[in-house]
Amino acid sequence: MVSQAGALLLTQVLQVTGLRRWLSEGLERWRAARAIHDPGKIIADLAVALALGGDCLADVAVLREQPALFGPVASDPVISRLVSQLAREAPRALAAIRAARAAARERAWGPGRAGCPGRGRRADHDRHRRHDRDCALTCACHTFLTRNLAFC
């Protein structure tokens, strides 16, 4: 679980890594013709709500209460309909989500390896990094902050 500030950082990471955009592109086929809410944003909002400790679809209400921070958040019925649609085509939906994650992961990890703060401190850093979540999170945050917030 993360704090509200951590949730805002997560939304920024979604944006900077391109995950939010790639989710939107990958899930476009499940967007209704006159829909207001983007399926990629809905899935991203669900992920942030989960990180905040949510355990059901309705827990996105925490994000909905702060539109200045998280933007427009879909209603519970809209979210429920999307999840039902994705479940009906689960293999295809999961493939789209996995492809978006892979593209974002490549963007986040690929070019940022040289700037990782742990690099050079351990001979086996690259191998260790793949298996150590704390190191991976530190590297990701350092890269994000260095490149996008101009400090560190």
Q: Between 132 and 71, whose confidence is greater?
A: 71
Q: What is the pLDDT of residue 7?
A: 83
- pLDDT tens, residue by residue, 79-93: 999 999 999 999 999
With cut-offs at 50, 70 and 90, classify the pLDDT of residue 24: very high
- Residue 109 has a pLDDT of 73
Residues 27-66 pLDDT 10s: 999 998 888 999 999 999 999 998 888 888 899 999 999 8
More confident residue, 18 or 135: 18
Phi-psi region at 54: left, alpha or beta (left = phi > 0; alpha = psi -120 to 50): beta
pLDDT at residue 149, as a whole number: 47
Element (H, E) at 91: helix 90-109
Mean pLDDT of 109-127: 53
Q: What are 133-146's pLDDT values in tens digits? A: 445 555 655 555 55
State the pTM of this model: 0.72
- pLDDT digits over 122-136, tens only? 554 555 444 454 455
Tokens of 29: 């086929």
Neighbouring C-beta atoms of residue 135, cutoff 10 Å: 17
Q: Tell me what the mean pLDDT of segment 10-14 comes to.
A: 86
DSSP string, 41-78: HHHHHHHHHHHTT--SGGGGHHHHT-HHHH-----HHH
CA 141 to chain centre: 13
Return the SS3 of 142: helix
Q: What's the mean pLDDT in 65-88?
A: 93
Q: List for the chain the helix, strand, coil content (%; round to 5).
A: 70, 0, 25
Mean pLDDT over each residue of the chain, to the nearest integer: 79
